[in-house]
């Protein structure tokens, strides 16, 4: 796989001295990772204890990339809106996390958590990561596999980082798609992320990047449609404008759809298939970017 999970594993393997070849049905920018809202936030993913460790490790890794402009990592203040005065479970992971003051909340909201997040501009980050892999001597082959045995026969070890493709390749019937639709609008001068998982309907988020803002979203379980839904577009705009009125007149630039590769729990584990190590790293749901470096480090450590 050549999404963020596969590329992160590949880079760590290269740093450990291994020769790496990626096989992928699609290469960047035609991956789910390229259409992710991509801010640090452990969304739709478990188990909590392992997720928190992976998320913390990834946050530290992205912080180290902040000085590299080409990587497209931005430091952003973020606000999660809450249903009550209870801190989210991940709040202890970040040193700059605190309850929001009333003057920091959108109209109609009473509770929230302010924290420092990192926004990953995937149209810049994924190509940068792929270029780094290739520059370090890696090979990327566009190839649709009929089964994982093809890879096992050709390598000393195989890392399965195929996202939704793991459903057939592992095979793992517990992997299922959760459709996400997002909008890209021109940035009217915003620099704070807002996320609301507790409102009516789907999760709502406003993610300012350098030149645009990502607005979301939807969480349509079992839905594999990749076509944009005009009704969802209108609903997303309405919810986001309610949280941040300055978005009202922001020009709509693009509507994007991706399928989150969800699973009851993230799978990072090793097994042997015919004497060849097969290391699984998939099922990251809506937190692929958030967990990428932490999961990759654990997966590579299993080799």
155-184 residue pLDDT tens: 999 999 999 999 999 999 999 999 999 999
Domain with 67, as residue range(s), is 4-301
- pLDDT category at 293 given cuts 50, 70, 90 is very high
Is the pLDDT confidence value at 285 over 90? yes
Written as one string, the DSSP assignment of the chain is --SHHHHHHHHHHHHTT---EEEESS-TTSSGGGG---BS---S---HHHHHHHHHHHHHHHHHHTT-GGG-EEEEEEEEEESSS---TTGGG-TTEEEPPGGGSPTT--EEEEEEEEEE-HHHHHHHHHHHHHHTT-EEEE---S-THHHHTT-S-EEE--GGGHHHHTT-TT-EEEEEEEEEEE-SS--EEEEESSSSSS-EEEEE-SSEEEEE---EET----S--HHHHHHHHHHHHHH-GGGTTPPEEEEEEEEEEE-SS-EEEEEEETTEEEEEEE--GGGHHHHHHHHHHHHHHT-
Instruction: Please give the average per-residue pLDDT across 236-262, as a whole number.
Output: 97
Q: What is the pLDDT of residue 30?
A: 83
**Domain count for the chain:** 1
- pLDDT category at 94 given cuts 50, 70, 90 is confident
Pick from 127, 150, 152: nearest CA to 140: 127
CATH of the domain at 110: 3.30.9.10
Is the pLDDT confidence value at 36 over 90? no
Is the pLDDT confidence value at 89 over 80? yes
Is the pLDDT confidence value at 95 over 80? no
Instruction: Please give the average per-residue pLDDT across 196-217, as a whole number.
Output: 92
Q: What is the pLDDT of residue 112?
A: 97
CA separation for the pair 25, 287 (Å, rounded): 21
Is the pLDDT confidence value at 92 over 90? no
Q: What is the pLDDT of residue 239?
A: 96
Q: What is the pLDDT of residue 93?
A: 86
Q: What is the pLDDT of residue 200?
A: 74
Instruction: Please give the average per-residue pLDDT across 193-203, as a whole number.
Output: 87
99-120 residue pLDDT tens: 999 999 999 999 999 999 999 9
Is the pLDDT confidence value at 78 over 90? yes
């Amino acid at each position: 796989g050549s999404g963020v999970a596969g590329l992160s594993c590949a880079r760590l393997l290269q740093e450990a001295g291994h020769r790496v070849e990626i096989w992928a049905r699609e290469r960047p920018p035609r991956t789910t990772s390229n259409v992710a809202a991509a801010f640090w936030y452990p969304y739709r993913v478990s188990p909590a204890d392992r997720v928190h460790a992976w998320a913390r490790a990834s946050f530290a890794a992205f912080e180290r990339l902040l000085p590299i402009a080409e990587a497209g990592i931005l430091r952003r203040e973020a606000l999660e809106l809450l249903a009550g005065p209870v801190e989210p479970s991940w709040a202890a992971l970040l040193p700059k996390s605190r309850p929001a003051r009333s003057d920091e909340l959108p109209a109609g909201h009473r509770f929230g958590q302010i924290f420092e997040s990192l926004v990953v501009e995937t149209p810049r980050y994924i190509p940068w990561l792929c270029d780094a892999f290739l520059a370090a001597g890696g090979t990327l082959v566009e190839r649709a596999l009929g089964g994982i045995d093809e890879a096992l026969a050709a390598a000393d070890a195989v890392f399965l980082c195929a996202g939704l493709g793991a459903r057939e390749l592992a095979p793992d019937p517990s992997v299922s798609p959760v459709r996400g639709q997002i909008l890209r609008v021109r940035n009217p001068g915003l620099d704070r992320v807002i996320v609301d998982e507790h409102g009516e309907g789907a999760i709502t988020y406003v993610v300012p990047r350098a030149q645009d803002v990502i607005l979301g979203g939807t969480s349509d379980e079992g839905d594999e449609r990749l076509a944009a839904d005009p009704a969802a577009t209108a609903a997303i705009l309405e919810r986001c404008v309610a949280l941040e009125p300055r978005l009202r007149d922001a020009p709509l630039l693009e509507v994007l759809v991706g399928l989150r590769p969800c699973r009851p729990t993230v799978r990072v584990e090793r097994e042997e298939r015919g004497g060849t190590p097969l290391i699984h790293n998939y099922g990251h749901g809506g937190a692929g970017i958030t967990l990428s470096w932490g999961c990759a480090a654990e997966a590579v450590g299993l080799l």
